[in-house]
């Protein structure tokens, strides 16, 4: 007879454990258990059936894998937690007896907790660490911009700032930064390091308001782990390109706002360069380093001999010059062909994008992100005013070597500001005016981001001060076939007959507005005079003055006698069917008869416009019916189990097509408004 299985001894009940049971098994407090799980990368799990897993009548809410908790039993950090707990008891007893000196001595002898072994366990290779660097960078850049409070000590903020600046210096030296995007949340950056794409978010430098509903204890645990991870990663990155880590850090210059200028990079000789193993540590064996260097010299000598032999065999062949530029792929010249994803520009192209330019940042521009991006794409000379901090190439705005100046202010005339007297070192007074320097290009900061995303220098006149900027699009959103692409012309995206249909609809809308007595104004620039006149009239009507009751009654009678026939707009006339239009006309006649007014006459312009649009609608409907019939024939050929999937696909495609058509119509309307504004 087989042994009877007991409940909770096998299956899902044995594979999962509750949080309370895990804390009792590890014999630690709940905060220490949370810290340990964050350090080791262990997270709660959701079982399929909580009733089978739970051993109580009321199912628990938090479960963990039993094997994960069993794995934590051998963690060395448990002994550190117990030592800290014992030390806290001793300090409490000393303070209770009034022995402040002993308590301070015990506080200084607090054991330090290191996370080096956890980093090596969680990331056995360096590529694994790079793949998990997205969240670490976002969190560290966030804490680097926070103010110091009781929950966040200033030492933590200073450490985050230094690690972030070291990582930015590596990106500048290697030209690893590829894309960036300005969003509401902050600035997104993407870098490619050893074939791994790393994306992180940097918040804007605004004054932060710290609220009390944030658990900084949990976030501080993550920061403790992420600082260790980024420190190991920076060490490996610096040593891989022959730089000394940690670099020299000038704290006095950093206090004066130097930021990137507070760090000085140093290279090391080949003999002093350690051989980095697969992990994060170097090999200190000098014999192995000498043998490796000898093998490298031998391989290089063999390659030189092969090249010389190849030149002797083929004297007419001439080697081509090295070209690091990557090739682009042209799509097939068909309408239904897929768009081939174009490769990104290489590091050499990124290093020369701004190499020939000298920039000056105005006081109103964000200095930190602009300095980082410009230097990451090859710019060696970036200047700014002294009020933004130290470390600039030049603080003289009139420097003739400056080619581009970034401004974020409206386009004001030359004599908008009076001359300001400035005292020089000699003691003379020099008048400094706000006039522009001739021969210098003035652009807005968005020009820098759009240039690096497209990999080329764009037209600066589109980004002139005070100009309406082009749309800032995300570089990670690639338009798909059939979707609306704001960068491509409408002629390449629209369907057959769509432009004529939209043009006729817009003409009907304009005729309807003119018939109602409304002037057609540009979309972007409303008629301010008309708005002011309207506001004055409304203000006069709203005044309550004695003796003005008769005038108010006359106005109200005039408003009552004024027929209200503008209930149906041009859009509704176009979209409604004939029966619905007849019903609306009949309703208007009844309203006019009730008020004692003559019946309204049909607008000939509306009828003619409706007739033209109906013809375009007939063509579009005919083509749409043909496509529906073809799809229906294809659907009939499918088995029943695939028809539902086919219907869902067609529903999704139709919805996307409708959204794209609405966006194209909106763009045509905006373009028409701009043309009207240009003519006016």
Of 416-430, 594-608, 613-627, 642-656, which has the strongest mean pLDDT? 642-656
Longest Cα separation, the chain: 113
SS3 for 231? helix
Per-residue pLDDT of 19-72, as tens digits, reads 999 999 999 999 999 999 999 999 999 988 888 887 776 767 899 999 999 999
Query: Given a cut of 80, is residue 475 above it in pLDDT?
Result: yes
Q: Residues 591, 595, 601, CA angle at the centre, nearest 5°?
A: 55
- Write phi, then psi, for 467 (nearest 5 degrees): -80, 155
User: Kind of pairing, strands 358-361 and 404-406?
Assistant: parallel
Residues 359/382, Cβ–Cβ less than 8 Å: yes
The pLDDT of 386-414, averaged and rounded, is 88
Rounded to 5 degrees, φ, ψ at 16 are -120, 155
Structure tokens at 231: 């420190």
Place of tokens 């200084």: 108
Structural contact between residues 50 and 59, judged by C-beta atoms closer than 8 angstroms: yes
Closest by Cα among 70, 77, 61 to 22: 70
Task: Supply the pTM of this predicted model.
Answer: 0.70
Distance CA 262, CA 158 (A): 13
611: tokens are: 């007739």
Q: What is the per-residue pLDDT for 134? A: 96
pLDDT value of position 446: 96
- DSSP letter at 45 equals B
Highest mean predicted confidence (pLDDT) among 212-216, 227-231, 499-503, 613-617: 227-231
- Backbone φ and ψ for 291, nearest 5 degrees, come out as -65, -40
Rounded alpha-carbon distances, angstroms, from residue 231 to 172, 226, 245, 514, 555:
18, 8, 10, 68, 78
Q: Which helix (H) or strand (E) holds 339?
A: none
For the chain, helix, strand, coil in percent to 5 are: 50, 10, 40
Phi, psi (deg, nearest 5) at residue 111: -65, 140
Tokens of 20: 């309370």
Are the beta carbons of 242 and 271 closer than 8 angstroms? no
Distances (CA, A) of 412 to 408, 417, 463, 676: 12, 9, 15, 25
Chain centre distance of CA 289: 44
Least confidently predicted of 72-81, 421-430, 639-648: 421-430
Residue 655 binned pLDDT confidence (cut-offs 50, 70, 90): confident
Mean pLDDT over 401-429 rounds to 72
d(CA 143, CA 202): 10
Percent of the chain clearing pLDDT 90 (strictly above): 36
Question: What CA–CA distances, in Å, run from 257 to 143, 493, 659?
Answer: 17, 49, 48
Distance CA 203, CA 145 (A): 8
Q: How far apart are CA 143 and CA 483, in angstroms?
A: 39
- Only one residue has tokens 């060490």, namely 235
Q: How far apart are CA 455 and CA 349, in angstroms?
A: 8
Structure tokens, 612: 């033209």
C-alpha triplet 357, 361, 366: angle, nearest 5°: 125
pLDDT digit string, tens, across residues 229-288: 999 999 999 999 999 999 999 999 999 988 999 999 998 754 444 433 333 344 444 344
* Residue bearing tokens 């007739």: 611
Sheet harboring 177-182: ordered strands across?
177-182, 187-193, 196-202
By C-alpha distance, which of 339, 616, 651, 661 is closest to 493?
Answer: 661
Burial of residue 126 (number of CB atoms within 10 Å: 0-12, 13-18, 19+)? buried
Q: Are 452 and 472 in contact (CB under 8 A)?
A: no
Mean pLDDT of 522-535: 42
Instruction: Say if residue 591's pLDDT is above 90.
Output: no
Q: What is the pLDDT of residue 244?
A: 94
Alpha-carbon gap, residue 421 to 432, rounded angstroms: 6
Is it the case that residue 381 has pLDDT exceeding 60?
A: yes
Alpha-carbon span 397 to 385, nearest angstrom: 8
Round to whole Å and give the CA distance between 132 and 115.
16
Tell me the pLDDT band of 495, cut-offs 50, 70 and 90.
Answer: confident
**What residues contact 281, with CB distance under 8 A and at least 6 apart?**
none
What is the length of the chain?
680
All domains in the chain, ordered by first residue: 15-108 (no CATH), 116-268 (no CATH), 349-477 (3.40.50.10190), 480-525+614-680 (no CATH)
Q: How far apart are CA 127 and CA 169, in angstroms?
A: 20
The burial of 375, by beta-carbon neighbours within 10 Å (0-12 exposed, 13-18 middle, 19 or more buried), is given as: buried
Whole-number pLDDT of residue 203: 95
Give CB contacts under 8 A, 24+ apart, made by 192-199.
192/344, 193/130, 193/237, 194/126, 194/127, 194/130, 196/127, 196/130, 196/131, 198/130, 198/133, 198/134, 198/137, 199/134
Asked if the model's pLDDT at residue 298 lies above 60, the reply is no
Q: Which helix (H) or strand (E) holds 528?
A: helix 528-541
Q: According to the model, what pLDDT value does residue 292 have?
A: 45
User: Which of 184-193, 255-264, 536-545 has the lowest average pLDDT?
Assistant: 536-545
């Amino acid at each position: 007879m087989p042994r009877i299985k007991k409940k909770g001894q096998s299956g899902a009940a044995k594979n999962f454990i509750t949080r309370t049971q895990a804390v009792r098994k590890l014999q630690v407090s709940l905060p220490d258990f949370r810290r340990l799980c964050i350090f080791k990368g262990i997270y709660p799990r959701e079982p399929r059936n909580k009733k089978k897993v739970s051993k109580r009548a009321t199912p628990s809410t938090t479960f963990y894998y039993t094997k994960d908790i069993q794995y934590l039993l051998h963690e060395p950090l448990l002994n550190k937690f117990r030592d800290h707990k014992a030390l806290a008891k001793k300090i409490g007893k000393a303070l209770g007896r009034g022995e402040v000196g002993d308590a301070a001595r015990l506080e200084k002898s607090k054991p330090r907790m290191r996370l080096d072994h956890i980093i090596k366990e969680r990331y056995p290779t360096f590529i694994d660490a790079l793949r998990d660097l997205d969240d670490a960078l976002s969190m560290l850049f966030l804490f680097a911009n926070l103010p110091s409070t009781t929950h966040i000590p200033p030492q933590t903020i200073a450490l985050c700032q230094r690690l972030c600046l070291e990582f930015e210096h590596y990106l500048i030296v290697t030209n690893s930064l590829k894309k960036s995007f300005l969003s509401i949340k902050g600035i997104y950056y993407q870098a490619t390091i050893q074939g791994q794409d790393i994306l992180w978010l940097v918040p804007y430098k605004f004054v932060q308001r710290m609220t009390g509903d944030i658990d900084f204890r949990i976030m501080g645990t993550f920061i403790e782990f992420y600082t260790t991870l980024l420190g190991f990663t920076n060490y490996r990155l610096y040593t891989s390109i022959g730089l000394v880590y940690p670099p020299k850090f000038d704290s006095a210059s950093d206090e004066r706002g130097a930021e990137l200028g507070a760090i000085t990079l140093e290279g090391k000789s080949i003999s002093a360069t350690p051989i980095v193993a697969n992990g994060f540590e170097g090999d200190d064996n000098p014999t192995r380093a000498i043998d490796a260097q000898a093998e490298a010299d031998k391989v290089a000598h063999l390659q030189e001999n092969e090249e010389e032999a190849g030149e002797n065999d083929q004297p007419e062949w001439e080697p081509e010059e090295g070209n690091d530029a990557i090739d682009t792929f042209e799509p097939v010249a068909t309408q239904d062909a897929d768009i081939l994803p174009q490769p990104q520009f290489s590091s050499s192209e990124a290093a020369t994008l701004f190499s020939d330019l000298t920039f000056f940042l105005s006081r109103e521009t964000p200095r930190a992100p602009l300095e980082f991006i410009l230097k990451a794409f090859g710019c060696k000379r970036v200047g700014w005013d002294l009020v933004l901090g130290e470390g600039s190439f030049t603080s003289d705005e009139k420097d003739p070597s400056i080619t581009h100046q970034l401004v974020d202010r409206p386009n004001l005339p030359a004599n908008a500001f009076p001359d300001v007297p400035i005292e020089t070192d000699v003691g003379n007074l020099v008048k400094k005016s706000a006039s522009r320097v001739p021969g210098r290009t003035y652009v807005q900061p968005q020009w820098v981001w759009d240039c690096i995303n497209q990999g080329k220098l764009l037209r600066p006149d589109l980004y002139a001060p005070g100009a309406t900027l082009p749309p800032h699009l995300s570089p990670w959103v690639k338009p798909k076939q059939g979707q609306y692409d704001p960068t491509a012309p409408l002629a390449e995206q629209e369907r057959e007959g769509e432009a004529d249909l939209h043009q006729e609809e817009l003409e009907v809308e304009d005729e309807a507005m003119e018939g109602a007595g409304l002037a057609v104004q540009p979309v972007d620039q409303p008629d301010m005079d008309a708005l002011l006149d309207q506001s004055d009239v409304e203000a006069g009507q709203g005044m309550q003055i004695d003796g003005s009751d008769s005038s108010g009654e006359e106005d109200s009678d005039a408003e009552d006698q004024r027929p209200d026939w503008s209930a149906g707009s041009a859009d509704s006339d176009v979209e409604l069917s004939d029966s619905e239009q007849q019903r609306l006309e009949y309703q208007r006649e009844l309203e006019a008869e009730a008020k004692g007014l003559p019946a309204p006459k049909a607008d000939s312009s509306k009828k003619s416009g409706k007739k033209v649009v109906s013809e375009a609608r007939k063509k579009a409907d005919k083509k749409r019916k043909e496509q529906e019939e073809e799809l229906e024939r294809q659907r009939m050929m499918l088995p029943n189990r695939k028809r539902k999937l086919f219907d869902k696909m067609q529903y999704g495609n139709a919805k996307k097509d409708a959204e794209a058509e609405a966006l194209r119509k909106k763009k045509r309307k905006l373009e028409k408004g701009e043309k009207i504004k240009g003519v006016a």
